Amino acid sequence: MRENPDRRRFMKSSIGISASVLAGLSFEHQALFAQLVDRSEYGKVQEPVTGLQKGKFGKLEVSRLIIGGNLISGSAHAGDLLYQSALMTHYFTDEKIQETWNIAEQNGINTSLMRADPHIVRNYKTHLKNGGRLHWFAQSAPEQGDPVENAKMARDNGAYAIYLHGGVSDRLVQSGKIEEVGKVLEGMKKTGIFSGVGGHRLETIKACEKAGLAPDYYMYTVNAVGYQTSDPEEIQAFMKTVTRPWIAFKVLGAGRDKPEKGFIHAFEKGADFIAVGMFDWQVRDDAALVKEILSSDIQRERPWVS
């Protein structure tokens, strides 16, 4: 019987081969191939991240990295993959949601950005009941009807902040109805909740500023791959003039960019916080990466607003 090859030699050889082969492959194929040849880090327990940086957000001190809610709600953006929503819904059971939020807290993340809907309310109440302390920033949920009433529901169930859904804001601005954005914003503010405006287009933010609206913050996309956002240089130039806190989202282009590139890109373009959808097994590494980035001398022109 022939002797089995030494595992270490095999792995070294496999990885060496992949290095030469990967150069001609897409990012997707590189990621897939990397998982096939090196599983050495799987299952390793690492020490939690401590000292994750925070910034002022209204009356709160908020971690610069915020855990997003699209994955949890089954609304992750995935191009033409029709099974993505069902996959996320099946993965993120109530138990997995609680586990993920607990891991986030263990690694210095103190805020989650989630939809204002019954599914999130139920899970957030469970989180608090079990001793969790995550702050909840709410995204208005269009299917819930009047966004002002949605803000009241979020407030009454523990949310600190809410913002008008970016798709809704974009459509209103494109239709020349910036005054409608203003009416919703004022209605939200009257509920007593910290109130912002979301957007995927720089024109939306520009229109709000030009109209003299006074959102407490902006929830606005920025990434280096052009996914549902505007030109990064135009974003950087304009956002330098904006003095309101900015939470950036879609910073990885819905999985189209690497965290080590997408995170620093967002902070360098001026974001004060980044909201990132994360699986439980990604949380610790993302927190460690953000801490490392913010501890370095990043090339940032916009002053920290928070």
Least confident window among 22-36, 190-204, 291-305: 22-36
Inside any domain, residue 305: no
Tell me the C-alpha distance between 213 and 194, whole Å.
Answer: 14
- How many domains is the chain partitioned into structurally? 2
pLDDT at 8: 42
- pLDDT confidence tier of residue 76, bands split at 50, 70 and 90: low
Model confidence pLDDT, tens digit, residues 4-35:
444 444 344 444 444 555 555 666 666 666 66
Choice between 257 and 272, residue whose per-residue pLDDT is larger: 272
pLDDT at 132: 98
pLDDT at 162: 98
Inside any domain, residue 280: yes
Q: Are residues 97 and 185 in the same domain?
A: yes
- Paired tokens of 214: 């006074």
Helices H, strands E: what count in the chain? 13, 10
Inside any domain, residue 303: no
Strands (E), 11-156: 54-57, 60-63, 65-68, 111-115, 135-139
At residue 151, what are phi and psi to the nearest 5 degrees?
-65, -40
Nearest to 201 by CA among 166, 253, 164: 166
Nearest to 200 by CA among 226, 162, 175, 179: 226
Inside any domain, residue 58: yes
Q: Are residues 232 and 265 in the same domain?
A: yes
Q: Which domain holds residue 153?
A: 54-295
Residue percentage of the chain with pLDDT more than 70 = 83
Q: Are residues 32 and 85 in the same domain?
A: no
Inside any domain, residue 48: no
pLDDT at 210: 98
H helices of 231-271, in order, are 232-239, 259-268
Q: In 10 A of CB 295, how many CB atoms?
A: 10
- Mean pLDDT value across residues 249-262: 91
By CB atoms closer than 10 A (0-12, 13-18, 19+), residue 100 is: buried
pLDDT at 13: 43
pLDDT at 21: 54
Mean pLDDT of all residues belonging to the chain: 89
Model confidence pLDDT, tens digit, residues 256-271:
889 999 999 999 999 9
